[in-house]
């Protein structure tokens, strides 16, 4: 009665029972033995399970390999970035050290150049003094120069009586000509010629009280014109160097 009323439900239960517990039974309508079918189905199921397991293993393996490659790539990237940072830091430090050494070298070189310039200027001044000393031996040039110095200096004094100091050699040179020199250069003044050991050339004019002086000795002229002389000497000595730097 139950089978007649519920044929489909009953058939479903039988099939489920058949697959669940592997019972060996026989379906009359088909006339086919199920023991061979069950065995075949189990083999297919095992094969499917193995295939699925292999697929899952391959999938996990592939995922693991991809993850490993990604980890290696990220590690390599981080390593490269760290190396680049360290290289940049090293380059910055090297550039700073290089600039420091260049600046120190430039400062040292500039100091040496300044010392060299100073030595050259002093050498030229020494040569100038030697040249002036030679000038005192050229009477045709030196005596007119002394006349100009005397005339210029005497005009600056209100006093009539003046003292003219020269070195001993110039006193010997000028003494025989002194009266003529006074008439020519300072006819309105009375000038006494005195010898001095302080002067290398030229002359110094002062009043008798020695309160006012006009120093036209070579030493006095060099000292008074020192800045101008340094400028002229420096310009002449280093003009070619400046031109080369501007090329």
Question: Looking at the structure, do residues 52 and 149 belong to the same domain, yes or no?
Answer: no
Tell me the DSSP string of 122-189. Answer: HHHHHHHHHHHHHHTT-HHHHHHHHHHHHHHHHTT-S-SEEEEEE-HHHHHHHGGGHHHHHHHH-TT-
Residue 86: in which H helix or E strand, if any?
A: helix 34-135
- Binned at pLDDT 50, 70 and 90, residue 246 comes out as very low
Question: Is there a domain that residue 129 lies in?
Answer: no
Task: Give 34-57 pLDDT, tens digit per residue.
Answer: 556 666 777 777 787 778 777 877
Question: Is there a domain that residue 177 lies in?
Answer: yes
Of 17, 35, 62, the one marking the end of a domain is 62
What pLDDT does residue 21 have?
45
Of 62, 84, 109, the one marking the end of a domain is 62
Eight-state DSSP code of residue 247: -
Of 62, 83, 114, the one marking the end of a domain is 62
Question: Is there a domain that residue 85 lies in?
Answer: no
Mean pLDDT of 156-185: 93
Question: Is there a domain that residue 174 lies in?
Answer: yes
What pLDDT does residue 116 have?
81
Q: Give the dihedral sign, CA 236/240/241/243.
A: positive
If one counts the domains in the chain, the total is: 2
Calculated CA dihedral for residues 195, 197, 199, 201, nearest 10 degrees: 60
Domain limits for position 177: 136-245
Question: Is there a domain that residue 228 lies in?
Answer: yes
Q: Are 124 and 237 in contact (CB under 8 A)?
A: yes
State phi, psi for 188 to the nearest 5 degrees.
-95, 5
Burial level of 193, CB count in 10 A (0-12/13-18/19+)?
middle
Question: Looking at the structure, do residues 48 and 145 belong to the same domain, yes or no?
Answer: no
Residue 217: in which H helix or E strand, if any?
A: strand 213-217
Structure tokens belonging to residue 220: 């006095």
CATH classification at residue 235: 3.30.2320.30
Question: Looking at the structure, do residues 144 and 239 belong to the same domain, yes or no?
Answer: yes
Opening angle at CA 245, ends 104 and 112, nearest 5: 35
State phi, psi for 225 to the nearest 5 degrees.
-100, 20
Question: Is there a domain that residue 8 lies in?
Answer: yes
Residues 6+ apart with CB under 8 A from 193: 164, 166, 171, 174, 175, 178
Considering only residues 151 and 59, tell me which one the structure prediction assigns the higher pLDDT.
151
Question: Looking at the structure, do residues 241 and 144 belong to the same domain, yes or no?
Answer: yes
Of the ranges 45-54, 77-86, 216-225, which one carries the lowest mean pLDDT score? 45-54
Question: Is there a domain that residue 105 lies in?
Answer: no
Question: Looking at the structure, do residues 148 and 54 belong to the same domain, yes or no?
Answer: no
Question: Looking at the structure, do residues 156 and 56 belong to the same domain, yes or no?
Answer: no
Q: Supply the pTM of this predicted model.
A: 0.52
pLDDT > 80? residue 229: yes
Question: Looking at the structure, do residues 58 and 143 belong to the same domain, yes or no?
Answer: no
The Cα 75–Cα 69 span in angstroms is 10
């Amino acid at each position: 009665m139950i089978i007649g009323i519920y044929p489909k439900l009953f058939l479903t239960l039988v099939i489920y029972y058949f697959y669940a517990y592997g019972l060996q039974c026989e379906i009359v309508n088909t006339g086919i033995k199920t023991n061979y079918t069950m065995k075949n189905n189990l083999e297919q199921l095992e094969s499917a399970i193995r295939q699925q397991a292999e697929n899952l293993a391959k999938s996990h393996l592939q995922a693991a390999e991809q993850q490993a490659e990604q980890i290696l790539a990220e590690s390599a990237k981080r390593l490269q970035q760290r190396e680049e940072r360290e290289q940049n830091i090293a380059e910055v430090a090297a550039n700073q050290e290089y600039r420091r050494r260049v600046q120190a070298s430039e400062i040292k070189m500039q100091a040496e150049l300044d010392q060299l310039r100073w030595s050259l200027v002093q050498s030229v001044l020494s040569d100038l003094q030697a040249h002036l000393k030679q000038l005192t031996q050229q009477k045709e040039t030196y005596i007119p120069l002394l006349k100009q110095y005397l005339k210029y200096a005497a005009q600056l004094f209100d006093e009539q009586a003046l003292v003219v100091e020269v070195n001993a050699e110039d006193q010997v040179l000028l003494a025989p000509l002194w009266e003529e020199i006074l008439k020519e250069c300072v006819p309105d003044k009375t000038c006494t010629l005195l010898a001095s050991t302080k002067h290398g050339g030229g002359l110094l004019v002062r009043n008798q009280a020695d309160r006012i002086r006009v120093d036209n000795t070579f030493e006095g002229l060099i000292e008074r014109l020192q800045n101008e002389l340094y400028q002229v000497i420096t310009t002449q000595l280093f003009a070619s160097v400046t031109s080369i730097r501007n090329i």
